[in-house]
Amino acid sequence: MNPQTLEEARHLAATMEQSVLGLIADRCEVVICPPFVYTVGLKHALHHVLLGAQNVSAEEKGPFTGEISALQLKNLGLRYVIVGHSERRALGEDDKSVNKKLMQCFAHDLQPILCVGYGTTKNTSLQVEKRIITRQLQNGFRGLKFAKGQLTVAYEPAWTISKGPGTAKPITPERAAQVIEFIKSKYKTARVIYGASITAKNAPELARYKSIEGGLVGGASLNAKEFMSIVKSFILDS
pLDDT in tens, 8-42: 999 999 999 999 987 766 678 999 999 999 999 99
Q: In what order do the strands lie in the sheet with 152-155?
A: 31-32, 50-53, 80-83, 111-116, 152-155, 191-194
pLDDT at 27: 75
C-beta separation of 103 from 81 below 8 A:
no
Rounded to a whole number of angstroms, the distance between the first and last alpha carbons of the chain is 32
pLDDT at 179: 97
pLDDT at 24: 63
Q: What is the pLDDT of residues 38-68, one digit of tens each?
A: 999 999 889 999 999 999 999 999 999 999 9
pLDDT at 165 over 70: no
Mean pLDDT of all residues in the chain?
93
Q: Which of 85, 93, 129, 213 is catalytic?
A: 85
Q: Is residue 11 annotated as part of the catalytic site, yes or no?
A: no
Q: Which of 17, 93, 129, 156 is catalytic?
A: 156
Residue 199 sits at the vertex; the CA angle it makes with 43 and 40, to the nearest 5 degrees, is 10
pLDDT at 145: 87
Domains in the chain: ranges and CATH: 6-236 (3.20.20.70)
Percent of the chain with pLDDT over 90: 82
Q: Is residue 47 annotated as part of the catalytic site, yes or no?
A: no
Q: Give the pLDDT mean for 96-111.
A: 97
pLDDT at 163: 64
Its pTM stands at 0.94
pLDDT at 238 over 60: no
- H or E stretch including 32? strand 31-32
Q: Give the pLDDT mean for 157-179.
A: 79
In whole angstroms, give the CA distance from residue 97 to residue 102: 9
pLDDT at 171: 87
> What's the Cα-to-Cα distance from 55 to each of 18, 21, 165, 199, 211, rounded to whole Å?
26, 27, 24, 23, 26
In whole angstroms, give the CA distance from residue 57 to residue 104: 8
State phi, psi for 108 to the nearest 5 degrees. Answer: -120, 25
